[in-house]
Amino acid sequence: GAGVSQSPSNKVTEKGKDVELRCDPISGHTALYWYRQRLGQGLEFLIYFQGNSAPDKSGLPSDRFSAERTGESVSTLTIQRTQQEDSAVYLCASIAGRSSYEQYFGPGTRLTVT
Amino acid sequence: TQLLEQSPQFLSIQEGENLTVYCNSSSVFSSLQWYRQEPGEGPVLLVTVVTGGEVKKLKRLTFQFGDARKDSSLHITAAQPGDTGLYLCAGGSNYKLTFGKGTLLTVNP
């Protein structure tokens, strides 16, 4: 079956503009994560969705960042008033359920803020 | 805050050599995973270890979880150019993973 897909693959935007990143998880996967990976760094947890439970937003770095997910489908990560320090690869991962350890990652969106 | 330290940060070796990379933490994790990430792609899971002292083998790769579940190692035997990539360890606690910064491995033909 299809893996996790993300769009766009690359995004260049001007400082101050808003951007929206999209993640399509594997069908049937109940949990979804967003991560940020800066150059030379590990993955930084941003937000976690599990079914219809309230999301864990504890990793969002500022109120300019928000994410939504409807049910067990597509998720969007929105960054408002982008800053140069937001430049990074944004990765999405989904897992089958609470008891699963294995995260399946998408290819990421490379965001460049000029 | 749970932190995972990976070493070395960079490793460049010749085809056929053996290598070991390390993942250390002061925190105990319920599970530890190793991922490999290639340029322009997301990380791909190699192995999950959950029991202290556990050893898992995947072809030429051997993974070990420390007895205290705070550290892990990855040993590659007879490295090949196809092993080139960023190796990330990740500690699991409840539903969250804490990632190390990775070891960037280059295997030269």
pLDDT at A1: 55
- Check if the beta carbon of residue A100 is closer than 8 Å to that of residue A48: no
pLDDT at B96: 84
B56 band by pLDDT with thresholds 50, 70 and 90? very high
pLDDT 10s digits, B5-21: 999 999 999 999 999 99
Q: Tokens 């606690």 appear where?
A: B93
- Check if the beta carbon of residue B20 is closer than 8 Å to that of residue B73: yes
The closest CB to that of B48, out of A43, A98, A102, belongs to A102
pLDDT 10s digits, A26-77: 988 889 999 999 987 889 999 999 888 889 999 999 999 999 998 778 999 9
CA distance B89 to chain A (A): 9
**Do strands B5-7 and B96-99 pair parallel, antiparallel, or not at all (unpaired)?**
unpaired
pLDDT 10s digits, B76-104: 999 999 999 999 999 888 788 889 999 99
pLDDT 10s digits, B18-53: 999 999 998 888 889 999 999 889 999 999 998 999
Tell me whether residues A42 and B96 touch, CB distance under 8 A.
Answer: no
Top-confidence residue, A72 or B67: B67
Alpha-carbon distance values, B87 to A22, A55, A68, B44 (Å): 26, 29, 30, 10
Question: Chain B contacts of A101, Cβ < 8 Å?
Answer: 31, 33, 48, 50, 92
* CA torsion, ordered B92, B95, B100, B104, to nearest 10 deg: 100
Count Cα neighbours of A4 within 13 Å in the Cβ-side half-sphere.
Answer: 30
Mean pLDDT rounded to a whole number for chain A: 92
pLDDT at A95 over 70: yes
pLDDT at A2: 80
